[in-house]
Chains A and B, each alone.
Chain A
């Protein structure tokens, strides 16, 4: 079974703090993704990575950065957290290919005060 784990289920941070969200997958997948999920907006892609040290912006990258130093790990960084970044953050991974299934982690619910 594919397993995608995220470092925290719940996180509370203060405005201006630097926040790290970690995601690890155990299936040697090339591609990894960070989404945020908000009521009424569905899932929106923040960043994705298709290889170690490679990254591409998604639809809403502003205020975020990412790091992929190892194939199994993909980190999302909020450089200076703001209240409008309060959200559910979901990580996903998928093998390369046209019809492959994305596998999701359980999500991190982040509250920025």
Chain B
């Protein structure tokens, strides 16, 4: 079956530090990959996505590249801000039908200090 593995957290960084959050996956087909973010007290919202190998998703200074050879989709940002403090979820969709089901990782909490 499908699975998503995220690095253990939580992660605490100082403002302007470089961020990497690791995500690897197992899937039977050719999945689409997603990063969702959950700000305090809110639901999840899509941060970025990539739908095929070597695609790079980017948004709000965050980037992730779909690496089929290493089955990874690591999230990076060059300079984090306090406002990036949130929970980050990696997810995949490997549903060739119409249901768009997602498999999520466990999430990782990022705290950014001023």
Please determine whether B89 and A90 come into contact, CB atoms closer than 8 angstroms: no
CB closest chain-A residue, reference B98: A96
Report the separation of the CA atoms of residues A59 and B89 in the bound assembly, to the nearest whole angstrom: 18
> B32 — which chain A residues lie within 8 A by C-beta?
98-99
Chain B residues numbered 21-49 whose CB sits less than 8 Å from any CB in chain A: 32, 34, 36, 41-46, 49
Please determine whether A30 and B98 come into contact, CB atoms closer than 8 angstroms: yes
CB closest chain-A residue, reference B32: A99
Q: Is A110 an interface residue (CB 8 A)?
A: no
The 8 Å CB contact of B44, one of A90, A95, A96, A100, is A90
Report the separation of the CA atoms of residues A50 and B95 in the bound assembly, to the nearest whole angstrom: 13
Please determine whether A43 and B100 come into contact, CB atoms closer than 8 angstroms: no
Q: Is A83 an interface residue (CB 8 A)?
A: no
Please determine whether A45 and B101 come into contact, CB atoms closer than 8 angstroms: yes
Please determine whether B45 and A97 come into contact, CB atoms closer than 8 angstroms: no
Chain B residues numbered 80-114 whose CB sits less than 8 Å from any CB in chain A: 89, 93, 95-96, 98-102, 104-107
The 8 Å CB contact of A50, one of B89, B93, B99, B104, is B99
> B93 — which chain A residues lie within 8 A by C-beta?
98-99
Report the separation of the CA atoms of residues A107 and B101 in the bound assembly, to the nearest whole angstrom: 18
| Cβ contacts A74-113/B at 8 Å (1 or 0 each) | 0000000000000000101011111111111111000000
- Offer 21 A-B interface pairs, CB within 8 angstroms, sorted by A: A4-B43, A31-B99, A31-B100, A33-B101, A41-B106, A42-B106, A43-B104, A48-B99, A50-B98, A50-B99, A56-B99, A90-B43, A90-B44, A95-B100, A96-B99, A97-B98, A101-B34, A102-B44, A102-B100, A104-B44, A105-B43
